[in-house]
Structures are given as C-alpha cells and as structure tokens.
Amino acid sequence: MNTPKLAIIVPCYNEELCIKNTAEKLLEVLDYLIKHNKIRRESFIYFVDDGSRDNTWKIMQYLHSQNRIFKGQRFLKNFGNQKAILAGLEAAQRFDCDCAVSIDADLQQDEWAIERFLDKYQKGYDVVCGIRNDRKTDSLFKKLTALAFYKTMNFLGANIPVNHSDFRLVSRKALNIMELYNERYLFLRGFFNDVGLKTAYVHFDVKPRFAGRSKFNLFSLSGMALNGITSYSVVPLRLVSILGFMMTIVAVILGSIAVCHKIFFSHFQHDWVIDFIMSCFFGGIELFCLGSIGEYIGQIFLEVKGRPRYITDLELK
Ligand code: UDP
Ligand code: MG
C-alpha cells in the first residue's frame, strides 16, 4: 500500500469568521491521518481566497506564517467557487500530490469522512464523491431549488449524483485528465462524473454553517445551474426543435379547420381575447426557446474568447 500525499483544497470567499476554526479542525484531521500512516507527512491544506473583501487573506497569511502546512493563493477578484476549487486542484497537481480533497470553508461537510474517502482511494477509486445524508440544514428555498436542479439535470441526461456538492476526493490520474480539458467554464461536478473514472460514494451528515452566511444567492445559484446544463447537455436545443415542429403541426391542423369552417359554413369566429391569449402564449414559448439557444451562444461566446479561467494575485507556497 502506497501512502499518498494529500492536498485539502478549501475555497474561501469572505470567510473571515470561519477560516481559523476550519484550519484548526482540518489540521486535527491531517495530523490524525499522518499519525495513522494514511497520508504522507508532506500533505497540506490549500486555501484559495476567491477575491474576498474581508480579512480572509490576512488570516491565511497568518496561518501560513505559523505553520507551512497551510498554503494558498489569492485571486485578483471574485471568480466563483468552481474556479477556486479548480485553482486548488491545479495547485495540488503542481505540488505533485497523489490525491486532493475539496471541502467548503464553513465545514458544513464532515471533515472526518476524508478518512473513508482515503480508504476508497486505496481500493483503487479515482473519484470519491461525498453524498449528504439529508438536507436538514438547508432552507426550504435551497431544498426546492436543489431538487429542481437535480431533476432537470437527470431529465436532460447529465450524470450528476444527487446531493453531491463539491466535497470529493480525486486521484492524480483524475487531475491529469482534468488538465486535458481546456474549457473555461468547467463544471466540476459534471466533469468528474462524466469522465469515466472509477467512482465511489461516501455518505456523510451535513452540519450547519459554522459562522457567517451562505455566499450563494438566487443569481449565482441559477448561473451555476445553467452552466451545468449548457456544459453537459444539448437536450434543451433538441427540445426547442421538437417543440417548434409540434407547434407547426398544431398550427397547420387549426388553420385547416378554420379554412374548412369558412368554406363550408361561411363563418369565421374571431375573438380578440383568444387572439391575445394565444399570442402571449406562443410569444412566451418563442422567447423561452430563443433564451435557451441564447444560453448556448453565450457559453460559446465566453469559451471562444479564451480568457484565463482565473487570475492569481499572490501565492503562499
Ligand atoms: N465560495 C467561493 N466563491 C464564491 C462563493 C462561495 O469560493 O463566489 C466558497 C465559500 O467560501 C465556501 C464554498 O464556496 O467555502 C461554499 O459556499 P457556501 O458555504 O456559502 O455555499 P452553501 O453551503 O450555502 O451552498
Ligand atoms: Mg456552506
């Protein structure tokens, strides 16, 4: 059995209230794992400050000055949690780690489940996804939007495990494959489940946020969900074509009926309320379809520009 070098990746956005506690708790886990020979001594904790406007970076610098097991980098501005995790994973690869685990800075996920992740890794799994047992700590709004997201993704054929956030272990092999993907907007949850690597699932109990508030709002959540959909499914585009085709058939049938009425019964019923409702209805469908296509065009637009995925301002090595 080879003892792996592990990196624990922690994306942080305005987490000054959490980060010290998180560092202590993760250090405890790391010490335990090193002591029990589950990971190598050179393993480390890697924070990614996603352009925080509070004291998150200062605390990271302090932690690094106290103990070099804490490393990290700071983004020039806020690039979003997916980019922060990605930057951490790329750093893990640069530091020649055998595997990396990403976990949220508020430690809602059970940090002790990392030991079970490593057991799966030792059994030959390249991706180990943490699955939350329930959503007790989530607001009703979060529960409903999450349910709608997973249902939609499944319906659209994108393979995303239900109740898996970004708490996962990935092996060096997975990191090397990730390097081959040049997408600007890589949706990690979709990517690691779609890529065909041997995947295991570990259940854990979710905890309430240690301090502070969720960093996601309706806008950022729907942005992430739309990115997930447009990155991993073209079904909406097909649905638009099918819908257009079906509407054409309905229009031809209704038009024929109206013409027959005119010819055989010499009367053509005209009701402006019906006209108005119908034009609103079909206008709505058309705009929805245009918007769906627009999402894909937007995605292409952002990808072809080839801008950097994130910009690192400073690094603590
Ligand atoms: N996060 C980030 N950039 C952002 C938003 C969030 O790096 O733009 C981090 C955040 O600091 C946390 C993780 O992503 O470590 C998950 O965020 P949060 O706990 O607020 O999400 P929730 O648990 O409410 O879904
Ligand atoms: Mg959280």
pTM of the model: 0.86
Check residue 71 and give its pLDDT: 98
Question: Cα-Cα-Cα-Cα dihedral of 12, 153, 189, 128, to 10°?
Answer: 120
Check residue 217 and give its pLDDT: 81
Burial 202-237 (b: 16+ CB within 10 A, else e): bebebeebbebeebbeeeebeebbebbbbbbbeebe
Cα(313)–Cα(306) distance, integer angstroms: 19
Beta strands in the chain, from DSSP E residues, in sequence order: 6-12, 44-49, 70-75, 99-102, 127-132, 168-171, 199-204, 312-316
The torsion region of residue 138 among left (phi > 0), alpha (psi -120 to 50) and beta comes to beta
Are the C-beta atoms of 106 and 212 separated by less than 8 Å?
A: yes
Q: 216 CB less than 6 Å from ligand 1?
A: yes
Check residue 74 and give its pLDDT: 98
Q: Give the nearest ligand 1 atom to 221 CA.
A: 25
Residue nearest to atom 23 of ligand 1 (CA): 214
Q: 130 CB less than 6 Å from ligand 1?
A: no
Which ligand gives the minimal distance to the CA of 86?
1
pLDDT in tens, the chain (317 residues): 689 999 999 999 999 999 999 999 999 999 999 999 999 999 999 999 999 999 999 999 999 999 999 999 999 999 999 999 999 999 999 999 999 999 999 999 999 999 999 999 999 999 999 999 887 777 888 888 888 888 888 888 777 888 888 999 999 999 999 999 988 888 898 899 888 999 999 999 988 888 888 888 888 888 888 888 888 788 888 888 888 888 888 888 888 887 887 788 776 666 777 788 888 888 888 888 888 888 888 888 888 888 899 999 999 99
Q: 78 CB less than 6 Å from ligand 1?
A: yes
Check residue 303 and give its pLDDT: 86
- Under DSSP, the state recorded for 132 is E
Expressed in angstroms and rounded, the spacing between residue 13 Cα and the centre of ligand 1 is 6
Check residue 169 and give its pLDDT: 98
Contact residues for 156 (Cβ-Cβ < 8 A; gap 6+) = 229, 232, 233, 235, 236
Coil/strand/helix, residue 7: strand
Q: Which CATH architecture has domain 6-217+311-316?
A: Alpha-Beta Complex (3.90)
Spans of all domains in the chain? 6-217+311-316, 235-304
Residue nearest to atom 19 of ligand 1 (CA): 214
